[in-house]
Amino acid sequence: MTMTKAAVVVITAFFTTVMTQDMKLPPRFIVQPNRQYYFKVDDATFTQELPCRAKGIPEPYYEWKKFGELLSVGTRGWNWKPNGGGTISINGPDFSDEGYYQCLARNTDGMVAVSTVAFFQRARAGAFPYNQTVETKVVREGENVTLVCSGKPQFPYAAPNPTIQWELYTPASGSVKETQAIMADDKRRQVDQSGALRFAFVTRDDSQPNQQYRCSAYNSLLKLSVFGSPVKLSVDSTNPLTVNAPKLMYKTAPEPSSGPSVVFLKGQNRTLSCIFAGKPVPTIRWYKLDANGRLMNPDGIVDKTQNLVIQVVNFDHEGTYRCTGSNPGGSQSAEIQVAVEAAPFWTKTGRPKDTNVTAGDDFTFECGTEGIPAPDKPKFYSNGVELDLSQPRIVYDEQEPTKFTLKNVSKADLQVFQCNVSNKHDYLYASVYLNVLLRTQLLVEPEQNVSYEEDNKPTNVRFNCSAKGDPMTPLTFTWMYNTPETDKWMPLPAGGPYTFIMDNEHAVDLDISLEKGSVHAQYKCVVENGYMPAEVLATLWNENAGPTSISIDPFLPVWTLVAAVATTLALSLLSSVVIAVIVRRKRRQRYADDAPEMNEELMQTPPAGVGSYEIPLQMNNGTSLSRSLHGENEVADDVPMYLEVPTLNTEIPRTHVRVHAEIGSGSFGQVYMGEIYNQNGQGEWTAAAVKTVRDPHDSALVKDLKDELKVMQILRPHPNVVTLFASCTRDGGVPMIILEYLPNGNLQTSLRNDRARNKAVYNNLYGASASLTSRDLMKYAVDVANGMAFLSSMSILHRDLAARNVLLSDDKRCKVSDFGFARDVIESHQYEMKSQGRVPVRWMSPEALNDQIFTSQSDVWAYGVLLWEIVTLGCIPYPGMSAEQVMRKITNGYRMPRPQHCSQDMYGIMLSCWEGAPNARPSFKDLTSSLNELLVADYDVLTFGEFEEALYDNVDKCDGDEKC
């Protein structure tokens, strides 16, 4: 079969044999600890296990960390087998064992750490505020009545959550009859979800001589009940109610943070309750309403227990439910709106699975999940280390954040990829082992040599060129020649003595007719499959003239791309080969068109991986420009987003300012007590703080002050940010910024003064002292979070957030101040640490310490440290450590432990601010919401009765080269 037209022969073939390599498997977790564990103290027999196990080849080696520091086997009762399973056993734990633990597994091929934190917390029974006086409640027979514990049950630090029960007992004999037994006989009594005991209507049997009702909180781990104050019920039977129309006493209510709907979690069993009082006992019917408010089940569901139990909640259970209580006296209805949310779950694509990919192909890792609320963007990891999605070979689209593609995989990519997806309810974690199947190289014919004598010259000579290997699609055969005169390989021209013969789909031979003219001496066939080329040498010589061959190993790949050869094509195959030629040329043209674009992409700065890190970009004119790379903070090329906000004109005549005594100073600036005229528009002098520079002839200091003014001029008044009154900077005099005057100083000094003034502050659990209360400190925390949320919404980074830079107003409201470090926002959107000057090391995030860049997420880290300052009443963070130790420990994952008097809820907020990955930290808006929930909680978030004074004595100093 001959070919008669110049072309590139593209042959489609399939080759199924692949070569694998010795198997290695980086560790991946198959068992992980839960988020929370509780333990008993003073119990040598108590042992708690935190499960952790991974699989890998070779078998993983295990380590455990507590607060980021490695634990030693056998110390303090910690036991696990480093080479035989990672589950840790903690024997006889005590108070010092509280904290968060992390399991790590490693082998020679990689390392991976558990993705969640296991909180280990001692169990506490809690306590009710107890009243020795027995309360007597007088009611009329047939009325409805509700009994609560001492007005409102409180369980400070009850862990795990207790079960609330009611008991009817006789104090003299100590006999107890539990409410559950009473309810089994009489449906009139119900314990609602808040723990109150509700009587549908009261009978004389509910009041027995010498008997009292009392509530208890039962701790299942400690097997201990804590009792509330007793209540005696006195029933007046002289004028009983014979008929009492139904009256709604209680219905399932949403949590304060859930809006108008009761939130159920998909997959759980949940109960809706409606308690109606009435005589006779009302009949309860439950209805489901459609979107238009019509009854979906007109007959309703009759449930005498006053509860509607929903088994295995799903999205169909979302909607409005109506409960109706009826008796001969009438009826009453109530509605409950139910919203169904869900922890993350895998989409139809399913959980990612281990994948075999042939070298040279692409690997796509998709972590598709859904949930309500929608899960956060997945975090991707490679062998336990967060993946840099800006790598050149990784294709990642922010519009499709659930997947990425690794291009052109090789043996070096053999590893474990992981993804972690979470929302407020739970998380999903998947590991995928990428096994790379190696391709076989192309193999061609051995070298071919043909010699002849002039007197015995053959008519034709045929050189073979066939190939096998992987992949076989497409194959390109190129015949070339070389002559001693030029010593240069050139494409072999078509026609004349040369004919190309396709023996099969894997071979294109060269036939040379020695009768049709002179021929060249050296030939070679180059075969390409788009992955690895190979070539075979052929030599034709005349014995009378001598050999002209060169030696090439036909089994070694040659990494050059050669030109196409001319071929001839038989008429019977003309159409099919022409099509192949066109396709090939179009493909080459497309690659050529794409090439400049690809080069341009390589020249561009890659996008940042996570968070809102800001990186400097060098522009053509040499100036530095910064660009925010995180969602809502994205700005234009050279104009920060917040500069588009009109700035205030704050300049006033210098005669409108009075300057009095100095009230503060620093290395570069001074603050004076002063007054400003007509600030309130009533022609009066108002107290103010006047900020200026120490040396008005230092142009750099003057510029810094003006930059700080630029930041403040962007801001509009906010109750938790210091207000700018005016400025005097344009008349050639000493530049001044006039601010509102806050007489109570900064938060750090106020906290320390209170601690020093009243050492009995830790007796303040029930307000016995006039010192700061738990609620006062929580209010401080909320104020600062509010102020920072406002600054963040204006795209302003504070960069020096600490208690010393928060001022207190007359009404003890916290206001964020000191925007000195924020001045660089105007110019470069990035604050870089300088070698000179003092640096706030103890408030700086790992990325600020290591990379010298500040972001909104680094402000959140600093806020977590500020919370610790508030909780410890103004102590220096990382007590007892030098600045160098602090930097080293933070980089290694250390986090300050929970103060004894700080609740786990509050400490959990601190830890969320100290997440290692910046984009895993909450926003200030989220922090404000979480803190407001704690502010209205029914227990003290900070219990100063457990304040350990000795831990915080003499720790209010830091190194001289630090900013504290």
Tens digits of per-residue pLDDT, 438-476? Answer: 666 677 777 888 888 877 888 889 999 988 877 676 788
Domains of the chain, with CATH numbers? 26-122 (2.60.40.10), 129-342 (2.60.40.10), 347-437 (2.60.40.10), 441-542 (2.60.40.10), 647-741 (3.30.200.20), 746-828+837-963 (1.10.510.10)
Longest CA–CA span in the chain (Å) reads 144
Q: Find the range with the poorest average confidence among 323-337, 498-512, 631-645.
A: 631-645
Contact 406, 362 (CB under 8 A): yes
Q: Residue 954, by phi and psi: left (phi above 0), alpha (psi -120 to 50) or beta?
A: left
More confident: 302 or 452: 452
pLDDT band at 553 (very low <50, low <70, confident <90, very high): very low
639 pLDDT band, cuts 50/70/90, is: very low
d(CA 117, CA 102): 6
Closest by CA position to 854, among listed 628, 553, 671, 659: 628
How many Cα atoms occupy the beta-carbon half-sphere of 733 within 13 Å? 12
pLDDT of residue 473: 67
What percent of the chain stands above pLDDT 70? Answer: 73
Tell me which of 70-84, 284-298, 850-864 is least confident: 70-84
Tens digits of per-residue pLDDT, 786-829?
A: 999 988 888 888 888 999 999 998 888 999 998 765 544 433 33
Q: Please name the residues in contact with 591: beta carbons below 8 A apart, sequence gap of 6 or more.
A: none
If one compares 78 and 658, the residue with the highest pLDDT of the two is 658
Q: With bands split at pLDDT 50, 70 and 90, how would you rate the model's confidence at 756?
A: low
Please give the DSSP secondary-structure letter assigned to residue 805: G
Which among 422, 437, 430, 436 has a CA at the least distance from the CA of 381? Answer: 430
Q: What is the pLDDT of residue 739?
A: 93
Which H or E run includes 597? helix 574-603
Q: Is 834 annotated as a binding residue?
A: no
pLDDT (mean) for 922-937 = 83
Name residue, tokens 């520079």: 693
**Residue 619 pLDDT level (bands cut at 50, 70, 90):** very low
pLDDT > 90: percent of the chain: 16
Token representation of residue 107: 């082998």
Quote the Cα angle for 79-83-84, to 5°: 75
819 touches 881 (CB < 8 A): no
Determine the average pLDDT of the residues in 186-215: 77
- Cβ atoms of 722 and 805 within 8 Å: the answer is no
| Under 8 Å between Cβ of 30 and 602 | no
Euclidean distance between CA atoms 689 and 726, whole angstroms: 11
Quote the CA–CA distance of 373 and 263 in Å, as a whole number: 11
CA distance 569 to 174: 109
Half-sphere exposure of 478 toward its Cβ, with a 13 Å CA cutoff? 20
pLDDT, one tens digit per residue, over 681-691 is 778 889 999 99
Q: What is the pLDDT of residue 647?
A: 56
Q: Which listed residue (470, 800, 824, 859) is catalytic?
A: 800
pLDDT at position 484 is 66
Asked if residue 894 lies in contact with residue 67, where contact means CB atoms within 8 angstroms, the answer is yes
Cα angle, residue 506 at apex, residues 501 and 512 outer, rounded to 5°: 25
What local confidence, expressed as pLDDT, does residue 363 receive?
94
Residue 952 has pLDDT above 70, yes or no: no
Q: Which residue has the tokens 């100063």?
A: 944
| Mean pLDDT of all residues in 238-247 | 80
In DSSP notation, 844-883 reads --HHHHHH----HHHHHHHHHHHHHHHHTTSPPSSTT--H
| pLDDT value for 611 | 26
Return d(Cα 753, Cα 744) in angstroms, integer. 11
In the predicted model, is pLDDT for residue 246 greater than 70? Answer: yes
Tell whether the model's pLDDT for residue 386 goes beyond 90. Answer: no
The more confidently predicted of residues 636 and 337 is 337
Confidence at 89, pLDDT banded by 50, 70, 90: confident
Listing DSSP states for 692-741 in one string gives EES-TT-HHHHHHHHHHHHHHHHPPPBTTBPPEEEEE-SSSS--EEEEE-
Return the top range by mean pLDDT from 38-52, 347-361, 472-486: 347-361
pLDDT band at 199 (very low <50, low <70, confident <90, very high): confident
Q: Could you tell me which residues are beta bridge partners of residue 935? A: none
Phi, psi (degrees; rounded to nearest 5) at 725: -85, -50
Q: Note the pLDDT of residue 610.
A: 26
pLDDT for position 944: 61
Q: Report DSSP state, residue 902.
A: B
| Amino acid 406: pLDDT | 95
pLDDT on residue 958: 66
- Reported as a single tens digit per residue, the pLDDT across 33-66 is 776 777 777 677 888 888 888 887 788 888 888 8
Instruction: Give Cβ neighbours of residue 636 (< 8 Å, ≥ 6 apart).
Output: none
d(CA 842, CA 863): 11
Q: Answer yes or no: is pLDDT of 283 > 50.
A: yes
Mean per-residue pLDDT for 71-98?
Answer: 80
CA distance 612 to 858: 10
Structure confidence at residue 256 (pLDDT): 74
How confident is the model at residue 304, as a pLDDT?
A: 58
Distances (CA, A) of 664 to 694, 798, 822: 11, 20, 20
Two tokens at 478?
């190129």
Give 902's contacts (C-beta < 8 A, 6+ positions apart). 871, 941, 942
Is 563 a residue whose pLDDT tops 60?
Answer: no
| Average confidence (pLDDT) over 318-343 | 92
User: How many C-beta neighbours within 10 Å does residue 502 have?
Assistant: 20
Using pLDDT thresholds of 50, 70 and 90, give the confidence band for residue 593: very low
Q: Average pLDDT over the chain, rounded to whole?
A: 74
Q: Is the pLDDT of residue 834 over 60?
A: no
Among the ranges 407-421, 438-452, 654-668, 739-753, which has the highest mean pLDDT value?
739-753
Q: Of the given ranges (211-215, 324-328, 361-365), which has the lowest mean pLDDT?
A: 211-215
pLDDT at site 842: 94
The larger pLDDT score, comparing residue 882 to residue 436, is at 882
Could you give the CA distance from residue 939 to residue 33 in angstroms, rounded to a whole number?
28
**Whether the Cβ atoms of residue 67 and residue 889 lie closer than 8 Å to each other:** no
Rounded CA separation 455/820 (Å): 98
Q: Within 10 Å of residue 796's Cβ, how many Cβ atoms?
A: 23
C-alpha 158/C-alpha 399 separation (Å) is: 44
Q: Which of 830, 785, 651 is nearest to 725 (CA)?
A: 651
- Own/partner contacts of 546-549, CB < 8 Å, gap of 24 or more, are 547/449, 547/451, 548/483, 548/484, 548/521, 548/522, 549/449, 549/521, 549/522
Q: Would you place residue 336 in the very low, low, confident or very high pLDDT band (cuts 50, 70, 90)? A: very high
What confidence category does residue 692 fall into, taking pLDDT thresholds of 50, 70 and 90? Answer: very high
Displacement of CA 460 from its chain's centroid (Å): 73
- pLDDT at residue 949 in the model: 52
Mean pLDDT on 863-884 = 92
> Pick the residue with more confidence: 518 or 390?
390
Exposure of 646 in the CB half-sphere (CA atoms within 13 A): 3
800 catalytic per annotation: yes
Burial (CB < 10 A; 0-12, 13-18, 19+), residue 960, is: exposed
The Cα-based distances of 825 to 42, 605, 622, 818, 832 in angstroms read: 54, 21, 19, 14, 11
The pLDDT value recorded for residue 939 is: 58
Cβ–Cβ < 8 Å for 91, 112: no
Q: Mean pLDDT, to the nearest integer, of 488-492?
A: 85
In this prediction, residue 436 carries a pLDDT of 80
Tokens of 846: 């790992």
Helix/strand number for the chain, H first, E second: 11, 58
- Residue 738 corresponds to which tokens in the numbers above? 């006039």
- The pLDDT of residue 787 is 92
**Least reliable range by pLDDT among 351-355, 621-625, 697-701:** 621-625
867 or 358: which carries more pLDDT confidence? 867
* pLDDT over 90 (residue 896): yes
Distances (CA, A) of 659 to 441, 673, 681, 705, 809: 84, 6, 20, 18, 21
Query: Residue 545 above 70 pLDDT?
Result: no
Q: What is the DSSP string of 753-773?
A: HHHHH-GGGGGGGGT-SSS--
Q: pLDDT confidence of 637, banded at 50, 70, 90? A: very low
